[in-house]
Amino acid sequence: MANHKQALKRHRQSLKRQGRNKHLNTIMKNTVKQTVAALESKDDKEIKASLSKAESVIQHVASKGVIPKKRAARKVSRLARQAASS
């Protein structure tokens, strides 16, 4: 464990960021799972709504720096491509 004042503060900050990142990652993964479930159900209204929500959540997570912007774009693109093919 750190002994200096600055090191203690950095540790506290890292724990806060870790918690925030874990929370946002969980939200993102759950919305992607819901979208995949909607794709399997083949309900057009549900697919459109869940895809829109997933895209919004993924872009939000990327804007916070939890995942890189290009990874977010790739995730959105793959989901949209799956939606278009079903």
39: domain CATH number is 1.20.58.110
2: confidence class by pLDDT, cuts 50, 70, 90: confident
pLDDT tens, residue by residue, 12-55 = 999 999 999 999 999 999 999 999 999 999 889 999 999 999 99
| pLDDT score, position 70 | 98
**Domain region containing 57:** 5-85
Are the C-beta atoms of 54 and 33 separated by less than 8 Å? Answer: no
Whether residue 1 is predicted with pLDDT greater than 80 in this model: the reply is no
Q: Is 85 left (phi over 0), alpha (psi -120 to 50) or beta?
A: alpha
Domains in the chain, number: 1
Helix (H, G, I), strand (E, B) or coil at 64: coil
> pTM for this structure?
0.88
User: Which residue type is seen at 36?
Assistant: V
Whether residue 77 is predicted with pLDDT greater than 90 in this model: the reply is yes
